[in-house]
Structures are given as structure tokens and as C-alpha cells.
A and B are shown apart, each in its own frame.
Chain A
Amino acid sequence: MNRLAAKRISRQTWGEWSWGWFLIAPTIIGLVVLNIIPIIQTAFLSLHKSGDFGRGNIYVGFDNYVKMFQDAQVWHAVGNTLLYALLVVPTSIALSLVVAVFLNGKIRGKSIYRTIYFIPMVAAPAAVTMVWRWLYNEHFGLINYVLSRIGINAVDWVGNPKLSLFSIAIIGIWSVIGYNMVLLLAGLQEIPKDYYEASDIDGASKMRQFFMITLPLLSPTLFFVIVTSLIQAMQVFDVIYMMIDVMSPAYNNTVSLVYLFYNNSFKYSNKGYGSAIVMLLLLIIMVITFIQMRAQKKWVNYM
């Protein structure tokens, strides 16, 4: 009797095991081939000087890394990428938080506003950048036309090295507000209404309610939005690629790490050096994420 039961159980367990392996097989095989092996390959390539199409790699040790740390353009790219993230992430989150808080109340046209703010998210960055470039156009652009009506001289939004990263950041902020707003609004709707009612009775002002109730209770959502937006911002490429070409006078002041990676790997076919650059990006993102995970304990409230 007992042995029979044991046999039945083990057959059942075996069944569950094989179903488990069968169901994860496509994903795991795919991940190993498409992602895990490529990470190792990229690390391997970064120690090599590559011939065309990755064939005929010559081992050069850490030469690519040494070259990278002496390459002024890499430092420009690190600086530009960090500055872009610093411009885009706090501004876009602050703006989307304001919009989300407004839309969380009883307000007419709520769903229409939500729909409209989300629109930039569904448009391809390539197309979006093209129209922004046209808006920014020094001689014929709408923005400079409006400025000229109020007596401001034409501004070279794209070509001026001092301005172009800010112009690019505006596009980045504009594109992402709606997406962050939707996430934050979902977080706001989880906060129980009684908290506000109770503090209304206590006579707390709306401002005080925002800082004492909304912000602490929204902190897990806020944390998620900050982490993902920062990682996104660190990988900025499309907008800069579409806006600034290698010949532009603003190139050094706008090139991002991923843009530099693209140029080296695919434009100049130096995949070894490109790999070293992307390893640097990995390192920077890991450090930032690690810092955030540590800081999380200080300000995020999980209920």
C-alpha cells in the first residue's frame, strides 16, 4: 500500500518536473542563445581588436579599455549621457506627478487628458525627432517664429553646442511624461481615500496632504518609475542619432555612450572597441542601480 502510494507520488512529481522543463525550454534556450552567450561574447570581444565582421580577432588584452580611458570622446559621452539623464528624469517625473495628481481628483475630461498626454509614447522616436528638428529649425522653425514675434532673435537650437543637449532633453521629457503619468496615476489610485478624508477633518491643507500622505504612499511606484526611467535615459540613442550627425559642431556635446557604441561598432566596424564601450555602460548602469537599491531603504515606504 505504502509502496504503491510512494510510486504514484513519484510519478506525479516526475510529471510535474517534465512539464516544468518543457514549458520553460523555449524561453531558456532562447535566453541562453540570444542573451547569455552574447554577454560573454561581448566581454570577450572587448579584449580583442576586431577584423571585419568579427572574424580574425586579435587578442589585445586590456588595450581597448586603456584606449577608452584616454579617449576624450568617451568622457564626453559619459558626461553627456549623465547630464541628459539628470535633465530628463527629475523634470519628467516632477511634471508627470503634477499632471497625475491633478487627474486623480474629480476633474472633467480626465480620460481625454490621459489619452492625449500618452500620445507621444506611441509615436516612433525617429518621426518625433524629425518634427522637433523642424520646429527647432533656425531659419524657418515655428519656435523661432514665435520668439521673433516677441522680439527674440533666432536661436540655433540644434547646432549650438551649448544648447543642443537641452533641446534633445526637451524631446526626451516631452516623450515620456504621458507614460510616467499613467504609471503614477495607477499608484495614486491605490491610496485609500479615507486617509484624505480623515486629514480633511483634521483640517490639513492640500499641500500638507500631498507631502504627508500622497508622497510617502506613492513612494514604491515612484521608486519603480525612477529606476526604469534612469535606465532608459542612460541608453538614449534614437533622438540624438536623428538630430545630430557626426559632422555637426554639436556632436561632442551631445554624443551619448550608446551613440558612440553604435558609431564604433557599426560605422567604423571596430567591434572590439564598441564592446568595451558597452561594457562601460553596463558598469555605470549597475553602479547607479546599486546606489538606488541602497537608497531605497531610506525613502521608500512599503505598506
Chain B
Amino acid sequence: MAQQKRLTRLFVHLLLFTGAALMILPFGWMLLTSFKTVTESTSMNPFVFFPSVWKWENYVEVLQQNNFFRLYWNTFAMVFLRIACSIVFSAMAAYAFARLKFPGRNFFFGLVLFQMMVPTQIFIIPQYLMVDSLGMRNTIFALLFPGLVSAFGTFLLRQFFMGLPKELEEAAKLDGCNIGQTFVRIMLPLVRSGMVALGIFTALFAFKDLMWPMIVNTNSNAATLSSALAKIQGAYSVDYPELMAASVLAIAPMLVLYIIFQKQFIEGVATSGGKL
């Protein structure tokens, strides 16, 4: 019996370990290839696993030729602004929808729900035409534009506000707080985990998005890390070490953030999944 239990456990670990290895393997291969010479990367006989000399020049070349510092700046600015806008505006609206009574509340909340059910591609052409007619293509503002407000964030934070006890507001009212003060001083700090989750979702979505930056910021100085990769792929089609170096550079910031804040990332996804 005990023997069988040990065997099952071994089997489970073996499966989980294999899965984990498959999850990391592409990243490992990306890293190894990024340090090879082109000859090493395309040598099949003998097959080269580790570069004989770690060729840092691949990175130097990719960094210089593609203006990567600019790409980092564009991406960070977009992610930061989208997080700020979605958290501020969504928290405001979410609180009103969760706790205040006013005419039109259900109708307006219906709009929020409706937006969440529609595929985002349906907004893209008109949004592009708006940015274009404002003369704002190839700017940070263009990257921010679709993320100015967030129906998803409003819905998510509303769920968090609804989970708070009503007595808090009654007590605040007795102490002479008006609605604005109650919202900012009492309620907002209590949904911090919701705001962190929203920030993480917003950052991931903005960072990974490919189509919008590709459409609206065609100028390579205004691209994001994601949209620049699409161009770089065309330019270096055979130089796999440099393509891999570019990929490493593009995923590095989010990967580093993830390793530092892994608990928040995973808990953010886990709690919000239960809320939606």
C-alpha cells in the first residue's frame, strides 16, 4: 500500500516535472541560440547545444540597429499610462456602480457589460480613424488611446467594492465624511488587491498586444517591443541568433517583473478569476 502510494507520487512528480521542463525549454533555447554564431546555430552535424564562445555582440548589434532604448521607453510609457488611466477611472466608476444610487445606473452599467462581450477588433478601424484624424499617429498617446478607460477594470473593481461591508460607509457618514472623502479615504485603500490585479492585467495586455501598435505606430521609432519584433523578423529572417537576442530583449522586462512580483501576478489572476 505504502509502496503504491510512493509510486503514484513519483509518477505525479515525473509528469509535473516534464511539463515544467516543456514550459521553460523554449526560453532556454532562445537564450542559448542568442549567444551563438550563425554557423553554430545552423550546424546539424555535429549539433551544437552550447555556444563555444558566448557571443554578446549579437545583443550589441540588435540593440544598436533597432533603437531598442526607444522601444523600451515607448513600451514603458504606454504600459504605465494605461495602468494609471484604467485604475483611476475604473475605481471611480466601479465605486459609483457598486455603492451609489443614481438615475441611469443600470443603463450605464449595461454599457460596461456590453463592451466586455464584444470582440475588441470591432473597435479598431474607427479608433484608428480617430487617432489619424487627430494627427496623433506614431505617438505615445496613440498607444494609450484604446486603454484610456476600461470596462473590464470597472467590472472587476465593482466586484471588489461589493464585497466590502456597508457599515463602513455608514460610520464614515456619521463622522462627517462626504461621498468623495468616503471613497478616497475609506473605500479605496480596501480594494488595493483589486487595483493590483487590474494593474497586472492591464500591463500584461498592453505589453503583449501586437495589432494595435502595429497599425497605429508604423514608424519604427514609435513602435513597442511587440510590434518591433514583427518588423525585425522580416529584416533578419535567416540570422536566428540575432532574432533570438531581440526576443530575449523584448521579453526581459516583463519576465523580470514577473520574477520579482510572482506572488502578486498569480494571486491577482486567481482572485479576479473568482470575481468575474
* Residues of A that sit less than 8 Å from B by CB: 15-17, 19-21, 23-24, 26-39, 41-42, 45, 53-54, 95, 98-99, 102-103, 107-109, 113-128, 130-132, 134-135, 137, 139-140, 142, 145, 148, 174, 177-179, 182-183, 185-187, 190, 221, 224-225, 231, 234-235, 237-238, 241-242, 258, 261-262, 265-266, 271, 274-275, 278-279, 281-282, 285-286, 289
A-B residue pairs in contact (CB < 8 Å), sample of 17: A19-B100, A19-B180, A23-B183, A35-B123, A42-B123, A114-B266, A124-B225, A125-B210, A126-B210, A130-B243, A134-B240, A177-B23, A178-B23, A183-B273, A221-B273, A262-B211, A278-B119
- B52 contacts chain A at the CB level, 8 A cutoff: no
Contact in complex: A26, B121 (CB < 8 Å): no
A179 to chain B, nearest CB (A): 7
- Given contact pairs A19-B100, A237-B211, A31 touches B273 in the complex (Cβ within 8 A): no
B251 contact set on A, CB distance < 8 A: 122-124, 127-128
A269 to chain B, nearest CB (A): 11
Contact in complex: B125, A27 (CB < 8 Å): no
Q: Is the interface of A mostly helix, strand, loop or mixed?
A: helix
A271 to B121, CA, bound (A): 12
Contact in complex: B208, A16 (CB < 8 Å): no
- Given contact pairs A28-B108, A237-B211, A117 touches B178 in the complex (Cβ within 8 A): no
A31 to B125, CA, bound (A): 16
A76 to chain B, nearest CB (A): 18
Contact in complex: A142, B29 (CB < 8 Å): yes
A179 contact set on B, CB distance < 8 A: 269
A32 to B148, CA, bound (A): 12
B208 to chain A, nearest CB (A): 5
- B172 contacts chain A at the CB level, 8 A cutoff: no
Contact in complex: A258, B23 (CB < 8 Å): no
* Residues of B that sit less than 8 Å from A by CB: 9, 12-13, 15-16, 19-20, 22-24, 26-27, 29-30, 33, 41-44, 47, 89-90, 92-93, 95-97, 100-105, 108, 111-112, 114-115, 117-130, 132, 145-146, 148-151, 154, 178-180, 183, 204, 207-208, 210-211, 215, 225-227, 229-230, 233, 240, 243-244, 246-248, 250-251, 254-255, 257-258, 262, 265-266, 269-271, 273-274, 276
A109 contact set on B, CB distance < 8 A: 16
Which chain A residue shows the least CB distance to B210?
A: A238
Residue in B20, B29, B130, B180 whose beta carbon sits within 8 Å of that of A113 in the complex: B20
A187 to B145, CA, bound (A): 35
Contact in complex: A281, B119 (CB < 8 Å): yes
Which chain A residue shows the least CB distance to B115?
A: A35
B44 contact set on A, CB distance < 8 A: 139-140, 145, 148
Q: Is the interface of B mostly helix, strand, loop or mixed?
A: helix
- Given contact pairs A107-B12, A174-B22, A134 touches B244 in the complex (Cβ within 8 A): yes
Contact in complex: A127, B247 (CB < 8 Å): yes
Contact in complex: B270, A182 (CB < 8 Å): yes
A19 to B273, CA, bound (A): 30
Residue in A30, A132, A148, A231 whose beta carbon sits within 8 Å of that of B119 in the complex: A231
Contact in complex: B96, A23 (CB < 8 Å): yes
B269 contact set on A, CB distance < 8 A: 118, 179, 182-183
A237 contact set on B, CB distance < 8 A: 210-211
Contact in complex: A116, B247 (CB < 8 Å): no
Contact in complex: B16, A103 (CB < 8 Å): yes
- Given contact pairs A17-B102, A119-B258, A224-B273, A30 touches B26 in the complex (Cβ within 8 A): no
B89 contact set on A, CB distance < 8 A: 26-27, 30
Contact in complex: A258, B121 (CB < 8 Å): yes
B124 contact set on A, CB distance < 8 A: 265, 278
A132 to B240, CA, bound (A): 12
Contact in complex: B254, A123 (CB < 8 Å): yes
B47 contact set on A, CB distance < 8 A: 145
Contact in complex: A282, B102 (CB < 8 Å): no
- Given contact pairs A16-B101, A19-B179, A125-B210, A265 touches B125 in the complex (Cβ within 8 A): yes
Residue in B95, B204, B230, B271 whose beta carbon sits within 8 Å of that of A126 in the complex: B230
A79 to B136, CA, bound (A): 37
A123 to B255, CA, bound (A): 7
Among B42, B114, B149, the most chain A Cβ lie within 10 Å of the Cβ of B149
Given contacts A124-B210, A238-B211, could you give 20 more A-B pairs where the C-beta distance is less than 8 Å? A16-B102, A19-B179, A27-B154, A31-B112, A35-B151, A37-B126, A38-B123, A39-B118, A122-B255, A128-B26, A130-B233, A130-B246, A139-B42, A140-B41, A140-B44, A224-B276, A235-B119, A237-B211, A242-B229, A286-B117
